[in-house]
Amino acid sequence: MNTPRLLVIGATGKTGRRVTARLGAGGHTVRAVSRGSVPPFDWEVPGTWGPVLEGIDRAYVTFVPDLAAPGAVDTITAFTQAAADAGVQRLVLLSGRGEPGAEACEQVLVTSALEHTIVRASWFAQNFTEGHLVDGVREGVIALPAGDVREPFVDVDDIADVVVAALTQDHHVGRLYEVTGPRLLSFAEAAAVLGVTYVPVTTDEFRAAMTEIAGPDYAAMLTDLCDEVLDGRNESVAQGVQQALRRAPREFADVIGGSRG
C-alpha cells in the first residue's frame, strides 16, 4: 500500500511544527506550509490553496487566527470543498473547546464527504511559554480576564501525538477527541507553577494590553474569545488523550518544567 502524502497547514505554529517534526522522524512524506513556505499558504488568499493541496492525501488543518473568528465557517467550508476537489481523502482539524464558532466549523467536516478527525483542545499549557503571554511571564506577571476559573491545561506535545495518530492510523476516522490535561488548575495555581504572579484583570484592561502587543484586530478577537470561554464552561477534564493514545496526558508542572529546562 502506498504511503499517504501528508500536509501540515500552519507548520510554524505551536502544534504544526511539532506534528511536522514527528511525521518527518517517522519517515512520512510531509508538505509543511505557512505564509512563508514555498509554495505559500494563506487563509486569506484562496488562490494559494490549490497548489498546496495538489497531490495530498491527508491534511492537518489549523486555522488562523481562530475558528471562533468571524467568517471562519465560510472559509473552512470553502477550504473543505477545495480539498475534496483536489482529491484529499482525510482532514484532521484542530478545534477549540467550548467555542460555538469552532463547533460550527467542525460540523463542516462532519457533514462533508471527506474522512475526518476532530481534535478539540483546551487552553494550551505552552501558551505561557510560547506566544503573546511570554513577555508577561518573563516579567513575573500573568494578567488575564479569567477570575478564579479553572482550566485543564493541555500539553501541546500531547495534541501533536493525537494529530499524528489521526493522520497515520485509520481507526481514528470519524472520531472527536476532546483533549485536556489531567486536572483542573486555576490561573493563580498555574502562575504559582510558573513562579510568577497572577493578576485578574477586566476584559477592557486585557484588550488594551493586547492591543499594544498584537494590534487591535487580534486583541479584539482574543479578548472576545477569553470572555466567551473563561466563564467556567470548560471546568471539566476530558479523556481525549487517553482515548486516542491509550496513555495519560502530561501534568502541567511536568510540561512547564520541561519547557523551562
Name the pairing type of β-strands 197-200 and 150-151: unpaired
DSSP 196-245: SEEEE--HHHHHHHHHHHH-HHHHHHHHHHHHHHTTTTT-S---HHHHHH
Whole-number Å distance between alpha carbons of 135 and 148: 22
Q: What's the confidence (pLDDT) of residue 163?
A: 98
Is CATH 1.10.287.610 the classification given to domain 5-255? no
Query: What is residue 106's three-state secondary structure?
Result: helix
Whole-number Å distance between alpha carbons of 177 and 244: 7
Find the helix or strand (DSSP H, E) in which 95 lies.
Answer: strand 90-96
Number of Cβ within 10 Å of residue 155's Cβ equals 26
In the DSSP assignment, the letter for residue 7 is: E
Which residues are paired to 160 by β-bridges? Answer: none
Q: Grid coordinates in use for 187?
A: 490561573
Q: Calculate the alpha carbon distances from 128 to 20, 48, 132, 187, 256 in Å.
A: 22, 32, 8, 11, 9
Question: Mean pLDDT in runs of 10 for the chain (261 residues)?
Answer: 89 98 96 97 98 98 93 98 98 97 98 98 96 90 95 98 98 98 98 96 92 88 89 97 98 85 46
Whole-number Å distance between alpha carbons of 117 and 17: 19
Q: Grid coordinates in use for 260?
A: 523551562
Residue indicated by cell numbers 491509550: 246
Q: What's the confidence (pLDDT) of residue 261?
A: 46
Whole-number Å distance between alpha carbons of 231 and 228: 6
pTM summary value: 0.95
Q: Burial level of 26, CB count in 10 A (0-12/13-18/19+)?
A: exposed
